Amino acid sequence: MLIKQRFNRPWSAWRRAVTKGAPWTLNAPHGVWAVSELRPGGRAELRYAPFDDEGGLRVAPLTIGEFASVGDARFAADAYEAEEPPELPDDLADTFLPGDGEAEIQAPDGRVFLLSLTEEAVTLSLGEGDARTEWARLDQPRVFGDDPEHGRPPGHEEPAELDLAIMVELTERMGSAA
């Protein structure tokens, strides 16, 4: 419930068609977000497509990232659309920006997550013994001029910083929910 108040967006803004397996969709003024389950009760894919001048979709929604659950993917889109999106703590900003980096983040319940930034993606992984499992990934935008198929929604000059902040928020959410 805290998330609803923080982002000033009621969860009811998300819509789902009656059809089983249909994606969750969220219309924003500039485009549409879609979240689809890849496996029932499991991983979810986050997609985005911008509207054209007539209000239609210019392209099919393109993959923005993949998450451990539908709720996490919807949280990421809500955070991206928030009037006041989450901010990356200064100590982590120094670690990651302006280039690649990695940092371990301890969740409130004691679990340790690895947050990493590369040219391809911002990734949040959970350690399981000697192995790591990818919990969430936000692909980094591919910028080719003004081509709408390759960018993120308008309004964020530094998507990597916002993506990192979203992952930190997910860690805090998961840690307090467990």
Pairing of strands 131-139, 101-106: unpaired
What tokens were used for 170? Answer: 């997910």
Kindly report, residue by residue over 30-40, the tens digit of the pLDDT.
888 999 988 77
Range scoring the smallest mean pLDDT among 7-21, 45-59, 67-81:
7-21
Say which residue the tokens 């692909």 belong to: 139
More confident residue, 58 or 76: 76
**Band (161; pLDDT cuts 50, 70, 90):** confident
Whole-model pTM: value is: 0.81
Kindly report, residue by residue over 127-160, the tens digit of the pLDDT.
777 777 888 998 876 554 455 445 566 666 667 8
Would you tell me how many other CB atoms lie within 10 Å of the CB of residue 127? 13
Q: Which helix (H) or strand (E) holds 75?
A: helix 70-81
pLDDT for the residue 144: 47
Kindly report, residue by residue over 84-96, the tens digit of the pLDDT.
888 888 888 887 7
Q: Are 97 and 157 in contact (CB under 8 A)?
A: no
**Band (124; pLDDT cuts 50, 70, 90):** very high
C-alpha triplet 70, 88, 90: angle, nearest 5° = 160
- Report how many domains make up the chain: 1
The Cα 112–Cα 129 span in angstroms is 11
Would you tell me how many other CB atoms lie within 10 Å of the CB of residue 90? 8
Boundaries of domain holding 114: 2-177
Q: Which helix (H) or strand (E) holds 83?
A: none
Give Cα 121 distance to the centre of its chain: 11
What number of residues does the chain have?
Answer: 178
Report the DSSP beta bridge partners of residue 134: 125
Residue 2 clears pLDDT 60, i.e. is over it:
no
